[in-house]
Structures are given as C-alpha cells and as structure tokens.
C-alpha cells in the first residue's frame, strides 16, 4: 500500500448505539494524500474551496449529547464522500474503460473526483490512474459508508428508529435566500414530519429555512435513508456566513449560535425517534 493510503479514512467521536442519532461530517476534511497534491495544478487554498470549512468544529459538542459523530479526514477535492463510488467520468481516469455516460453533476466537474471549481477552472495537471482511484475507493469511500451503516443499524437495534444527520455548509446566500436547508431527497430519505420539525428549529432561531432547495441531499442521505426500515436520513446545509468571519475563519459568536441550534436539532430528532420507535413497537404488537 502506498504512502497515500496509510492514513485513517475518518475518526469517530462517541460510542455507537448510545443514541438514535448518528451524525456525519463528510466535507470538512483537511488531509490530502501526497500523490493528490502532486497532480494538482492549483494550490491547496484553491482545493480547499470545495470544503465545508470548519463544520467539524461542532462535532465535540454534538457528541456530548449522545450521538456518535463520524468526521472525514480526507479533503473533498481528493475524494468526495457524498458521491457514489461509481460517480466518475472515465475520461478523467487513465486506464479506465468507457462507461455509461456520466450524470450532469459529473459532467459539471462535481463527481467522486472533483474536476473543477467555479472561478478556478481545472484542478489537475494530469488524470488520476485507475488503480489509484480504486485504492481511494477501497480505503476511504467504502469504510466511511460502512461505518455509517453499522452505526445506524446499531442505533436502530436499540431504539427501533435511527436518524442520520449529514452535516454540511453552503456558500453565503443572497439576502432573503435560505440560510438553513433541510434535504430529504424530496421525502425519499426521511419523513416530511422530521424535515418539518428540523426546519422549525431553524426558523425558531430566526433563520430563513427551506426544504430541499437549493440542496435536496446527496449520496449520503440517498444511500442510508430507508424510512420504511426505520432509518431516516437528512442533510443539513448551513449558510457559512452564520459561523465564519468575512475572511473565512470561525467566528466565536456565530459558532456558539450554530452549536446551540444544532443541539436543538439533536434534541428534536431524538424526540422524533422516540415517538417513531414507540409507534413501530405498538404496530408490532
């Protein structure tokens, strides 16, 4: 195994199965394998623009409420954990066989291996080798999603219902646009009731909130949300201006405010899971 593959794919805070809530932070990683940096035609600061900056600073506080929190260490520009393992374009990978035409998202450069950033252009000076891509998938992507799945199964086994909160941030929105977006894949990954309750948390804190627009949720909630099986998944997008300074560093007051809102989200989701679990138990009797 190469040096690029020796680092752990993520770290976990808290214990599995102690809460019905599992929290994932897939886009705040800051680790770039050496071969990824060697392929880049832009500097690291440009690559970092793909990240959800500093979302991981909320992980400790959320863990203290009981949920286990999974935090990806791999940078999004190196491997996007919120994409399916097959969501890449063969034209971007040396040695790859032709594949089914990629999705519009992949064509726009935002697949498993991001190709470009708006305002920056192409990221790479050369294509990734197919074997390197396979190692990244086997070493980072599969273990990440397997750990989420295992944590959700353990939570469901104890509480009858489990909920994944996939935590993200979004570029600052124009005045009057949503600052707080709950994505549930248009009702496919979670119930409308859960989404409405989490929207209400944001609105109760004075935020402009929306459901599924402009973000309906990515692969994380799509892959793990199975409401009919007692596992629901939502993606939360937070306007970065709410917790970062204009120069992109954490703002203490803003971070404290968002941490409090997220704490209320966990409380709300736990109450929802308790009620849902009791309903499932009664239905089984």
Determine the pLDDT at residue 146.
97
Boundaries of every domain in the chain: 3-284
Complete DSSP assignment for 21-40:
EEEEE-S---B--HHHHHHB
| Segment 159-178 mean pLDDT | 94
Give residues with Cβ within 8 angstroms of 197, minimum separation 6: 268, 269, 272
Distance CA 119, CA 171 (A): 14
Distance CA 213, CA 219 (A): 16
pLDDT per residue over 61-89, tens digit each?
Answer: 999 999 999 999 999 999 999 999 999 99
Determine the pLDDT at residue 21.
98
Complete DSSP assignment for 161-215:
-EEEEEEEEEPPPPTTS-SEEEE-TTTTSS-HHHHHHHHHHHHHTT--EEESSS-
CATH topology of domain 3-284: Aminopeptidase (3.40.630)
Q: pLDDT confidence of 5, banded at 50, 70, 90?
A: very low
Q: How far is CA 151 from the centre of its chain?
A: 15
Distance CA 252, CA 53 (A): 14
| Segment 16-32 mean pLDDT | 96
Residue 284 has pLDDT above 80, yes or no: no
Token representation of residue 80: 């996007």
Give bridge partners of residue 231 from the DSSP assignment: 162, 226
| Segment 87-95 mean pLDDT | 93
Determine the pLDDT at residue 100.
76
pLDDT per residue over 128-164, tens digit each?
Answer: 999 999 999 999 999 999 999 999 999 999 999 999 9
Alpha carbon distances (Å) from 201 to 98, 197, 209, 231, 260? 46, 6, 9, 21, 10
Query: With the C-alpha atoms ordered 127, 133, 136, 142, is the resulting torsion angle positive or negative?
Result: positive
Percent of the chain's residues with pLDDT above 90: 85
pLDDT per residue over 204-238, tens digit each?
Answer: 999 999 999 999 999 999 999 999 999 999 999 99
Distance CA 172, CA 167 (A): 16
């Amino acid at each position: 195994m190469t040096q690029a593959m020796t680092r752990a794919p993520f770290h976990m805070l808290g214990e599995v199965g102690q809460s019905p809530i599992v929290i994932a932070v897939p886009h705040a990683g800051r680790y770039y394998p050496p071969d990824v940096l060697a392929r880049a035609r832009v500097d690291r600061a440009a690559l970092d623009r793909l990240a959800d900056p500093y979302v991981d600073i909320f992980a400790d506080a959320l863990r203290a409420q009981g949920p286990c929190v999974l935090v990806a260490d791999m940078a999004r520009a190196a491997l996007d954990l919120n994409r399916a393992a097959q969501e890449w374009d063969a034209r971007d990978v040396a040695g790859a066989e032709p594949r089914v035409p990629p999705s519009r998202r992949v064509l726009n450069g935002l697949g498993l291996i991001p190709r470009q950033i708006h305002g920056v252009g192409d990221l790479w000076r050369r294509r990734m080798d197919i074997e390197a891509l396979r190692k990244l998938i086997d070493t980072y992507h599969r273990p990440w999603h397997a750990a989420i799945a295992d944590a959700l199964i353990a939570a469901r086994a104890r509480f009858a219902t489990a909920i994944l909160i996939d935590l993200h941030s979004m570029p600052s929105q124009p005045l009057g646009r949503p600052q707080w977006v709950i994505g549930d894949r248009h009702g496919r990954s979670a119930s409308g009731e859960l989404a409405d309750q989490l929207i209400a948390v944001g609105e109760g804190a004075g935020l402009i909130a929306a459901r599924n627009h402009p973000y309906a949720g990515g692969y994380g909630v799509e892959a793990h949300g199975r409401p009919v099986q007692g596992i629901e998944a939502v993606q939360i997008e937070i306007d970065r201006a709410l917790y970062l300074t204009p120069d992109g560093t954490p703002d203490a007051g803003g971070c404290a405010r968002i941490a409090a809102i997220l704490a209320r989200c966990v409380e709300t989701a736990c109450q929802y899971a308790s009620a849902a679990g009791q309903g499932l138990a009664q239905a089984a009797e």
